[in-house]
Amino acid sequence: MKTAARVRVCAALLVLGLAGCRGSRPVDAGPAFLYALALPSVGPTRHDARALSGKVVLVSFFATWCFPCLAEMPTLEALQKDYGAKGFQVVSVGMDLDGEKVLQPFADHYALRYPVLVANDVMREGQTAFGHIRALPTTVLLDRRGRAVAAWQGVEGHADVAKAIEKLLAEE
């Protein structure tokens, strides 16, 4: 991993409250990251947090009013399409204060190939393994063991994310 990218990953992990980042060492919160994703889903793609175990998971925190979040959606769709059959899963967590009331029609309208979860008050208050989400979109990449191996704020390029996913999928 290049130095600038490593610094960006560490800075993002620290912003998320995921202390312990040194270089590219994964942040291991045990199963806490995956447990935090045991949230209700909306839209056509159903969600079972237990099915995430053993998969590479990209968690995208977004809001329906966030234009960069909307701009990121085609990338997330493409990543799910390209890598879903290989043990990869995109999961979006809607941080909207009105929750299901706005997320249900949003998810139905866009008919995404990945689950859209509804953040609860505990998550919005930063009381999960993901910590406080300070900017949207915020994305966290989890390896097959559920460890955070990368994180960033804002829209990241498709090629860079795909490269990180491919590396994780190649690891057993």
pLDDT at position 3: 42
Q: Beta partners for 42?
A: 116
Q: Six-digit token pair at 3?
A: 């130095």
pTM for the model stands at 0.84
DSSP output for the chain: --HHHHHHHHHHHHHTT-----TT--B-BTBHHHHHT---EESSS---GGGGTTSEEEEEEE-TT-HHHHHHHHHHHHHHHHHGGGTEEEEEEE--TTTHHHHHHHHHHHT-SS-EEE--HHHHTT-STT----SSSEEEEE-TTS-EEEEEESPPPHHHHHHHHHHHHH--
Write out the chain's pLDDT in tens, 172 residues.
444 444 344 444 444 444 333 345 567 776 889 999 999 999 988 899 999 999 999 999 999 999 999 999 999 999 999 999 999 999 999 999 999 999 999 999 999 999 999 999 999 999 989 999 999 999 999 999 999 999 999 998 889 999 999 999 998 6
Domain with 145, as residue range(s), is: 3-170
Decide if 93 contacts 102 (C-beta within 8 A): no
CATH of the domain at 61: 3.40.30.10
> For residues 162 and 7, what is the distance between their CA atoms, to the nearest angstrom?
19
Q: Which candidate, 37, 64, 58, places its Cα nearest to that of 120?
A: 37
> What's the structural domain count of the chain?
1
pLDDT at position 51: 93
